[in-house]
Each structure stands twice: as C-alpha cells, then as structure tokens.
Amino acid sequence: MQADLLPAPVRVCQRQTLELRNANWFDGNKFERGTWFVDEAGRFTRNRPAHIERVLSLQHRFLVPAYGDAHCHNFSHLADLDKQTSLYIHDGVLSAKSMTDPRRTAVEAAGQLHRWGDPLNIAYAHGGLTGTRSHPAGIYESIALGYHGETKPEHAQQIDASRLEENDAYFVIDTRADLERKWPLILAGKPDFIKVYLLDTENYREHVQQGYGLGLNPELLPLVVQKAHAAGLRVSAHINTAHDFHVGVISGIDEFAHAPLVFAKGDMLERMYKIHSEDARQAAAQHISLTLTLFASDYQTGDPNLDELHRRLTKYNVELLRSSGVHLALGFDGYNTDSVGEVQVIRNLHLFSDTELLRLWSTDTVHAIFPGRKIGSIAEGDEATFLILAGNPLRDFSNTQRIEHRFITGQELLLRGR
C-alpha cells in the first residue's frame, strides 16, 4: 500500500494548554499530590498559563511519564506500521529506539508517522556496522529475498551470497580502509546514533581465519567511537559475551544494546556470560548505559539445570550492574511487540521493586533513548509526554495498563476505533 493511502490509526489532537488539577504524579520514587500545567509549547510547568483551554480533574487518577522501549526493530517498514503504532500507543509506550533498520524503508515509515502527526518519539540507528558474513546480514538478506520466519537449510547458500541490503540495513566493516570509505555513506543516512555488532570478540581472529565473521573487528571500535563522537553521535553496541562488554568499555562506547547473550552450556556459559566487576564499575564511571533485553535471553533449553544456571547468571549480571551504578534501560528486542513483555519478564525474575521498575520503564528508559532531551520526567520544562492511569501502579502493577489518557508533548492521542 502506498504511504499516502495508509489510514491513520490514531488521531493526534491539537495541542492545548492544560491544567492537571490535583494529580497524583510520579516523582520517580513515589506519588505526590499537586497541580501541574502544560504550556503552549507542550511542556510541564508549575506556572499557570494566562489562558487554560482544558482542565483535567485528577484527584483519583495517577500521572506518570509515558513508557519507553530502548531496543526494538519496529517502525522501519510501511507494512505493519499501523499495527505497531496502535500497539505502542495502546500500551502507553510513546518513545522507542530502533536498533538497526533498513534505512530506505525506515525513512518511508518515519515520513508516514510524520504525516500522521508524529504520535511517537523514535530514534533510528539505520544500518548497523558489522563484519563479513556476520549478524545481522543473514536476517535482512533473508527478508529481502522473501523468506520470512525460520529459513530452510536449502536457502542458506543463497542468503549468504546475497547483498541486497548491504550499505542500507548493515555495513560490512572489516578493515580501517572499509571504515574510511564507508563512513561518509553512513553519516549521509543521518542516523540518530551508531549501532555496532560485537559477536564473541575474544575469538574474532580465529573465526575470521575460518572464513566467517563475528561482527565488527574489535580493533576498529575505538576509531568508530572517535568518528561517531566527532559527528555528535553516540555508539550503541550489540554484545554476546562478557568479553564483548569489556571491549565496549575500554573502547569508550556509550551504550550496550544488550546484557551478554550467550547460547552455551555449563562452565562455558558461566565463563562467557559473567560480567567482571571491574568492567561494571568502569562502565558506570564512564556513564555507559545498558538496555536489559531479558525477554530475548529468556529461552528454554529443555535442560532444567541449564535453564536455572542461565537465570542465576542473568540475575548476577543485573544485580552487579545495578549495584555498580550502571544506568539501566529496558527493551523487548522484537518485531511487532513492545516493552510490555520485557517488563513482565523482569517482574517474574523479582529483580526490581515495582517502584524501581516503574521508574526504569517510564523515566530511565526514555532518558536512555533521548539523552539530550528534557523528556521522561514530570518536571519543570520537560516535554509533557505522559499517561493518566485509573489506579495506583505501586499498589497494583497491572494499573500500568489501565490507561485513560495518553499525551505526547501536550497533544492527546486517540486511537481509532477505541
């Protein structure tokens, strides 16, 4: 379907000055009672605007910053765009970070969202930096060839040889010469940040010599970081192992898109997965953030002992990162899904209190997506992107989904057919 024929799944109402009277508003630790205003620019203020266009009486309602999803693969194609937009708005997830996308189609999707009135805040990486025959090339090439879902073995050679999405959904960077040659093309795509792939850097040389890659050459990562920072861009790294985490820290990246994701067994799992305490402390000192994508790593092997070891190491890493002061965010790392599922997994693991989890979802995650913007808090001058809940989520966390109103920069969002 052509972009100009796609019906809008949401109505973005005209911005009005608001009085949020007697609201129970979340300050990051508890709910306070008080009145806030939203000014002509769509920002929170304690100072009453000269003219109030709408009053919302909220003495029995709860005001929270809208939620975030700091790792998704949505909003990059016109196909499913209406479904994804409806899902995120329905669930109150109004800020998202697209962690690699085919730039050509992502620009079309972003343009359509703009024509719909910009109902969501989205940061795009566009093409990720990886190595020869490395993730995520196989995923994007299989989709480009028309293979969706699980591919068949007989398609592997065709997918491996395909280059339909190279220099759009991913960039192959094996040498410094590759980086110098392709860097202008990467910047020409106007990414909001740079995504790199580190895939077992400890064994990078061995695997390259065997003819297949393990992501970006780790020796090039400091130069990528230097170039990105010179262009005013942050660097986010996909990692698989604890050693990848170490490489990211010493290279000066800004964000980890995952905690380590390892599909190994027994003592190999523990050795490859467990983050070293000194690396965690150094990451905190360098203000590096990390997005928890625990749903993506919550796989079942069929071996109860191995599954329990995996859960134990997951808890160890999260508790180490938190106690070390690493800024955490959360994301689902999926397609046609949002961060609601990730929140459910985290709650089931009992890693955070409900207060901590609400702050992580509504404030810390949004700050990680847009570190340079005043958004994600109910504070003077912050963007008024918020939700009004029917009940107190700190008494019953299911109230996080009892959403009565959704606002983005002071504009109410009304889903079609609801």
Structural domain tally of the chain? Answer: 2
Does 374 fall in a domain?
Answer: no
Does 194 fall in a domain?
Answer: yes
Does 377 fall in a domain?
Answer: no
141-150: which pairs have CB atoms within 8 A and are 24 or more residues apart?
A: 141/165
pLDDT score of 210: 67
* Claim to verify: residue 218 and residue 295 sit in the same structural domain: yes
* Claim to verify: residue 141 and residue 96 sit in the same structural domain: yes
How far apart (Å, rounded) are the C-alpha atoms in residues 322 and 316?
A: 10
* Claim to verify: residue 184 and residue 270 sit in the same structural domain: yes
Q: Phi/psi of residue 49, each to 5°? A: -60, 155
For residue 50, the enclosing domain spans: 7-63+384-415
CATH of the domain at 311: 3.20.20.140
* Claim to verify: residue 324 and residue 409 sit in the same structural domain: no
* Claim to verify: residue 403 and residue 351 sit in the same structural domain: no
First to last CA, the chain: 24
* Claim to verify: residue 169 and residue 224 sit in the same structural domain: yes
* Claim to verify: residue 44 and residue 75 sit in the same structural domain: no
How far apart (Å, rounded) are the C-alpha atoms in residues 344 and 67?
A: 14
pLDDT score of 37: 99
* Claim to verify: residue 84 and residue 58 sit in the same structural domain: no
**Per-residue pLDDT for the chain (418 aa), expressed as one digit of tens each?**
455 568 999 999 999 999 999 999 999 999 999 999 999 999 999 999 999 999 999 989 999 999 999 999 999 999 999 999 999 999 999 999 999 999 999 999 999 999 999 999 999 999 999 999 899 988 898 988 888 766 778 888 898 888 889 999 999 999 999 999 999 999 999 999 999 999 999 988 887 766 667 899 999 999 999 999 999 999 999 999 999 999 999 999 999 999 987 666 667 788 899 999 999 999 999 999 999 998 866 666 777 888 888 888 899 999 999 999 999 999 999 899 999 999 999 999 999 999 999 999 999 999 999 999 999 999 999 999 999 999 999 999 999 999 999 999 999 999 987 5
Whether the model clears a pTM of 0.85, i.e. scores above it, the answer is yes
pLDDT score of 1: 47
* Claim to verify: residue 151 and residue 291 sit in the same structural domain: yes
* Claim to verify: residue 147 and residue 82 sit in the same structural domain: yes
Q: How many other CB atoms are there within 10 angstroms of residue 136's CB atom?
A: 20
Does 1 fall in a domain?
Answer: no
Does 379 fall in a domain?
Answer: no
* Claim to verify: residue 180 and residue 36 sit in the same structural domain: no
Q: How many other CB atoms are there within 10 angstroms of residue 33's CB atom?
A: 10
* Claim to verify: residue 135 and residue 219 sit in the same structural domain: yes
